[in-house]
Structure 1
Amino acid sequence: MDGEDIDGSETSRKWPAPIRLGHTIPEGDVHVSDLNPLFLQGFIFMVYQAVSVSLPTWEASLGWATRKPDVINKMKSGYPRFFIHPMITHLASLVVKKYGVESSTLLAMLFPTSDVAERCAAYISKYHQDPQLQTMHVVPKWESTLTGKWTSIHAVLFSPENFPYAKKFWQHTGEGISSRRAELCLSLITAGGMERVDGGTHQPSDNADKVRKDLEAVNGNGNLGTGEKTTSTSLDHGKEAWKEKATICQRVAHLASNESVIVSSSDVFLYPAGMKAIFDIYRALLIAFPSHKKTICYGFGYVDTFKILSTFGPQDAILYGHGTVAELDELEALLESGTTILTLFCEVPTNPLLKSPDLKRIRKLADRYDFVVVCDDTIGTSANCDLIPYVDVIVTSLTKLFSGGCNVMGGTATVNPRSKQHDAIREALDAIFVDTYFPSDAIIMERNSHNYAQRVKATNRNAQLMAELLHNHPSTEQVFYPSLSRTKQNFDQCRRPDGGYGYLLAIKFKRITDAITFHDRLDVAKGPTLGTNFTIACAYTIFAHYNELQWAAQYGVEEYLVRVSVGMEPTAMLLDVVKRALKYTEVSIDG
């Protein structure tokens, strides 16, 4: 940043300047913390592989939601399932140009396996027939230590009018390729190192040295997307990243365990995105228990979870979106009437209203009526919540605080070893699981997650204090946070003895103008994601439900909610930033 030192001096430790519209988050701004090694020098390097983008004002958020060109054209990045990374878009256009029909106007989506590509094609066909719909397999010409399945691309080509359907599949399932994989494939395709295969078994020649030479000619020093020079050692190391993947699974298993139940890392399935974990566990349950079809979503959770349950299942999913005792009574009555269900999905707590389900009662219902309980602990975190006594499967978006770096995607599904359905679920997951987690992504995720438990404690503390400050301010009507919620006792049921209430909160202001003012004046990063090591806020409902605002509002998810994911910044500095933003709402109150 202009005028600022980056050597850890006092100059570099002042509060970060606002990130410009459309720029990646993180971008190189100062976010100071004594706990996170990334911050020890008082800065973060710009990350082209970032998983968020700056939308610093309410107006900019509306511009994004309504696709205004003056906002969209400035987007350098975005959340990867909602915004297809420029590297992936560029690679897709090259695949169509080089290997598709000549002078084709077709578009392409890129996937890691043929099964995923076929699922995408089937999804498009379900909604709109496309005579030009086709799948294509593009592979490296040469065998080498860095190629193999990681540079094998399965493309789905379709007419432009079918882009919305292809995009929905990409967004909901989390099955698209990562930007780091696209970066490597771009290096190969630009060097003339890839070709189309139209069936049969491809047998590339052994020419690793040529691949390295051509990559260096294209990239200078080469880059696997980790920000490191791709020497032969790093290429070999990055081929599979088995060690890093095993370490991640061990970490997740350890965090899920309690004093009486030790979770094995073999019960943890690692995926390239949290939604892919949810999608695969749902697919596995449909295979394991084919006679039970109906699915329940209890509580108003993350937007794409219910989309998966309602779109990809054989029957419509039932949403109990208020997450109340009355809705549990309604569910129990439904079960008593003889209706069988496959699974109940829930979150601890929900996003964005931070409500917690009564897991003890849900567990009793599941045992009595024989259904599987799947719970997302991304916001509550495994460091705060012990879910083993209550659920059959835990799903987690590692993209969020487990990583914290806002620069890599990942997810897990953890099967509870005490679940009576353990063996059936494991067998079904094993049958469909394919490791598609790109090695460089795994390497970065493993590095980022080293001090996860410490970071959870730091964000717990900051979020609790911020929630209390906001709760006591005259401009706020309600602050949504687990410790302030009517469902606090439900969260406490599963809260570990040393656990807190998490890093996420949302605010409903008494005046719409105060919501906008606070959002715009809050001097933190603003963009679509949560669980970052630094504080990040957003106009959540506009991002997630702009085209269904009335539907979301009936469940309490109102248009002018301000969501804040609280980071690790020094507490006094962070609270001072909040107080300064609140002063602007006080002006409107006094006036």
Structure 2
Amino acid sequence: MLQALGGTVPPNTDHAVSVSLPTWRSNIGYEEGEDWVIGKMVCGYPRFFVHPSIQKLAQEIVRRVGDPETETATLFASIKTARLCQSFIASKVPAEEARKVRIVNFIPAPHAEAGASTITSSLSCVIYPKEWAPHAKPVWQHSGNGISSRRGEFCMRALEDGFLVEDKGSATADSMSQRPCKGPRRYQGRGSINGITRSPPKDAVSPVNGAEDGRDYAQFIEERFGRNLSTMLADQAKLAVRKRIAGVLTADSELPEALETTSAEGRVAGISENDVFLYPSGMSAIFNSHQILMNSRGSLKSICFGFPYTDTLKILQKWGPGCLFYGHGSSEDLDDLEARLKNGERFLGLFTEAPGNPLLRTPDLVRIHKLADQYDFAVVVDETISNFLNINVLQYADIVASSLTKIFSGDSNVMGGSAVLNPKGRFYKLLKETFDREFEDIYWAEDAVFLERNSRDFVSRIEKINSTSDNITAMLKASPLVKDVHYPKYSPTRPMYDGLRNPNGGYGGLFSVTFHSNAEAIAFYDTLEVLKGPSLGTNFTLASPYVLLAHYGELDWAKSFNVDPDLVRISIGLEEVPDLRSRFQTALDAVQKSRK
């Protein structure tokens, strides 16, 4: 049942979020960039591996407006996100060379907006010398603002058929920056920067370049999607998703029911879907929350509390004045922070995860919240791993970020992220005003439709995954072959987790397991008959030697925070318990044999 090396995870999925790395050796080969691995990869986690459809589009853009021999491009959905990339690259190269980094914009041709209200897309392309690609990669990876593979496919077809054309109005298309969708009206279909557009002005010109075969834009859309994906459907999908994330919906629901639900009882008193902002990925939600905090409160250092997902720490280190890092996330760390605060140090905000990845430790949010109130810093919590059905962290945070790519979607075929504001938070008014002013909706309409459909059974999936995970972790915990099981239920920080847990909440679907030797970890991983690759929160059980993938170049650094380089991370899916127990027992048997 194992997927072949480099294949999509899940199998036969064009826009898969994960890629198969079925053996320990293949993970090392991926990190080392060995051809026998890289050459077989048809996809990868989207922020680390540029999807072939996007690679193809970037090559075509450079062929049209650049020099394919010496230049390459990184693609974004708006001029604002492209400028972040442009400025980051420019900061890493000699000042006199920075002019070689330029932005070329593509916009819908006038005739592309003719007809009924439907989707269009703009495209902002950062073009630069090929040797500077290592400077662009961190922006793509850490910011999470790059275009999705579905948008890439759409733009490629639109470009080929003459419905997407270069904006020659100015070198950086400043006019585009005057068309953002901001504030609560961001889902009303104004403009094309958010991936949807309304009917064109009455003076829209007739077709010129492109569409030589006489097809109109409506026919192009019908052929591209197999149906007319209208702004209304995209708007409704985003609204339903935002209601689910606000906690207004507490049971599985189809789209009509989701849209009709108007209950005011959400995750905290007074919350509504207007406090939820959608992003192309979870990291985009974190990146933009940090940007908005700096915009609203000034350029102060941040705090990264607890061993974090790798990109969160990199964001805080590479953008802004840096951060204070507490990798253990312990009470002693909080003692040190409190002493610094008492001595006059001030911070922008504290970023943390509840629980953390991959040790599943939960920070003391109650104490953190008290310090934040006393010393005037914001609290940003990433709740991706446990999710809001299991625990309520919003009551102690100003912003809660999440990767909707994970368990909220489950199908591992679409990216998405969210940032949620706490209407009772001390910075709510300031943050809401800044979000409404600075936020731009660059979440691709087609991705939103897939995400909404995937999340309709979110509640029942969580319940099953909680129960199965409880069973499998107990099995592993009882085995003398296992060194440790990292899971909120068995963590020394369980009291912190239980203090956040909802009445019907469980301990989530993610855990990590360690063994007594590298050979035993390899035997377990290579034998375990589940899909293997990056990501988590999938509807199928997924395994990964997480520390190798996330920290290959800094294993000793990770180990200094008690993160075992040989750790195997498991994300439990929807399989039946007897089936999974059998697979895990076979893997444990292999561990036993490796000892002989």
Judge same fold: TM > 0.5, yes or no.
yes
Aligned equivalent of 1:106: 71
Q: How does 1:229-248 map to 2 (within 5 A)?
A: 229=226, 231=227, 234-235=228-229, 237=230, 241-248=234-241
Show CA shifts across 1:323-342 (max 9, x none).
11111111111111111111
TM-score computed with the length of structure 2 as normaliser? 0.87
Aligned equivalent of 1:161: 131
Report if the CA contact (8 A) 2:292-2:438 is conserved.
yes
Show CA shifts across 1:196-243 (max 9, x none).
22325699735599599659999997334xxxx1x3xx23x2577111
- Larger mean CA deviation between 383-392 and 179-188 belongs to 383-392
Report if the CA contact (8 A) 1:216-1:222 is conserved.
no
Aligned equivalent of 1:132: 100
Report if the CA contact (8 A) 2:104-2:127 is conserved.
yes
- Quick one: structure 1 residues 138 and 211, their matched pair in 2 at CA, closer, same or farther if it must change by over 3 Å? farther
Which ranges of structure 1 fall in alignment gaps of 5 or more residues? 1-16, 28-45
Show CA shifts across 1:49-83 (max 9, x none).
11001010001111111100110010000110000
User: What is the CA-CA distance between 1:294 and the residue it aligns to?
Assistant: 1.7
Aligned equivalent of 2:245: 252
Q: How does 1:132-281 map to 2 (within 5 A)?
A: 132-141=100-109, 142-144=111-113, 150-199=120-169, 205-207=205-207, 210=211, 214=215, 222-224=223-225, 229=226, 231=227, 234-235=228-229, 237=230, 241-254=234-247, 261-281=269-289
Show CA shifts across 1:499-520 (max 9, x none).
1001100011111101011001
- Larger mean CA deviation between 430-439 and 129-138 belongs to 129-138
Supply the AA of the counterpart residue of 2:244. R
Aligned equivalent of 1:348: 354
Supply the AA of the counterpart residue of 2:205. S
Q: How does 1:540-555 map to 2 (within 5 A)?
A: 540-555=546-561
Give 3-state SS (helix, strand or coil) of 1:93's partner.
Answer: helix
User: What is the CA-CA distance between 1:411 and the residue it aligns to?
Assistant: 0.6
State the aligned residue count.
545
Q: How does 1:52-71 map to 2 (within 5 A)?
A: 52-71=18-37
Show CA shifts across 1:242-277 (max 9, x none).
111111101100269658614210000111111111
Report if the CA contact (8 A) 1:109-1:166 is conserved.
yes
Alignment equivalent of 2:5, drawn from 21, 28, 32 = 21
Q: How does 1:439-458 map to 2 (within 5 A)?
A: 439-458=445-464
Distance in 2, matches of 1:574 and 1:414, equals 35
- Quick one: structure 1 residues 391 and 164, their matched pair in 2 at CA, closer, same or farther if it must change by over 3 Å? same
Alignment equivalent of 1:296, drawn from 303, 307, 324 = 303
Give 3-state SS (helix, strand or coil) of 2:29's partner.
Answer: helix
User: What is the CA-CA distance between 1:113 and the residue it aligns to?
Assistant: 0.8
Is residue 379 from structure 1 mapped to residue 385 from structure 2 by the alignment?
Answer: yes
Give 3-state SS (helix, strand or coil) of 1:401's partner.
Answer: coil
Report if the CA contact (8 A) 1:146-1:238 is conserved.
no
- Quick one: structure 1 residues 416 and 217, their matched pair in 2 at CA, closer, same or farther if it must change by over 3 Å? closer
Supply the AA of the counterpart residue of 2:131. E
Show CA shifts across 1:388-431 (max 9, x none).
32111111110000000100010110000111210101111112
- Quick one: structure 1 residues 95 and 561, their matched pair in 2 at CA, closer, same or farther if it must change by over 3 Å? same
Distance in 2, matches of 1:364 and 1:345, equals 15
Aligned equivalent of 2:54: 88
User: What is the CA-CA distance between 1:147 and the residue it aligns to?
Assistant: 9.4
Distance in 2, matches of 1:579 and 1:522, equals 9
- Quick one: structure 1 residues 133 and 400, their matched pair in 2 at CA, closer, same or farther if it must change by over 3 Å? same
Report if the CA contact (8 A) 2:373-2:426 is conserved.
no
User: What is the CA-CA distance between 1:466 and the residue it aligns to?
Assistant: 1.2
Supply the AA of the counterpart residue of 1:248. V
Aligned equivalent of 1:561: 567
Aligned equivalent of 2:292: 284
Aligned equivalent of 1:311: 318
Distance in 1, matches of 2:344 and 2:159, equals 57
Show CA shifts across 1:25-72 (max 9, x none).
111xxxxxxxxxxxxxxxxxx210110010100011111111001100
The alignment-based identity, stated in percent, is 38
Which ranges of structure 2 fall in alignment gaps of 5 or more residues? 177-202, 250-264
Distance in 1, matches of 2:450 and 2:66, equals 34
Show CA shifts across 1:77-128 (max 9, x none).
0110000000000000000101224x54200001111111111011001112
Aligned equivalent of 1:30: none
Distance in 2, matches of 1:191 and 1:504, equals 45
Supply the AA of the counterpart residue of 2:395. P
- Quick one: structure 1 residues 216 and 265, their matched pair in 2 at CA, closer, same or farther if it must change by over 3 Å? closer
Distance in 2, matches of 1:150 and 1:164, equals 31
Report if the CA contact (8 A) 1:254-1:262 is conserved.
no
Report if the CA contact (8 A) 2:268-2:422 is conserved.
no
Show CA shifts across 1:151-182 (max 9, x none).
21110111111111111100000111111111
Report if the CA contact (8 A) 2:163-2:211 is conserved.
no
User: What is the CA-CA distance between 1:364 and the residue it aligns to?
Assistant: 1.0
User: What is the CA-CA distance between 1:193 and the residue it aligns to?
Assistant: 3.4
Supply the AA of the counterpart residue of 1:499. G
- Larger mean CA deviation between 196-205 and 266-275 belongs to 196-205
Supply the AA of the counterpart residue of 1:222. E
Report if the CA contact (8 A) 1:475-1:511 is conserved.
no
Alignment equivalent of 2:40, drawn from 74, 77, 81 = 74
Distance in 2, matches of 1:213 and 1:457, equals 52
Supply the AA of the counterpart residue of 1:116. T
Supply the AA of the counterpart residue of 1:300. F
Show CA shifts across 1:283-302 (max 9, x none).
11111111x61210110011
Report if the CA contact (8 A) 2:536-2:542 is conserved.
yes
Supply the AA of the counterpart residue of 1:137. N
Alignment equivalent of 1:421, drawn from 400, 411, 427 = 427
- Larger mean CA deviation between 268-277 and 211-220 belongs to 211-220
User: What is the CA-CA distance between 1:558 and the residue it aligns to?
Assistant: 2.3
Is residue 324 from structure 1 mapped to residue 330 from structure 2 by the alignment?
Answer: yes
Supply the AA of the counterpart residue of 1:450. R
Give 3-state SS (helix, strand or coil) of 2:224's partner.
Answer: coil
- Quick one: structure 1 residues 574 and 241, their matched pair in 2 at CA, closer, same or farther if it must change by over 3 Å? same
Report if the CA contact (8 A) 1:466-1:575 is conserved.
yes
Give 3-state SS (helix, strand or coil) of 1:389's partner.
Answer: helix
Supply the AA of the counterpart residue of 2:158. L
- Larger mean CA deviation between 205-214 and 240-249 belongs to 205-214
Distance in 2, matches of 1:467 and 1:244, equals 36
Q: How does 1:532-547 map to 2 (within 5 A)?
A: 532-547=538-553
Supply the AA of the counterpart residue of 1:164. P
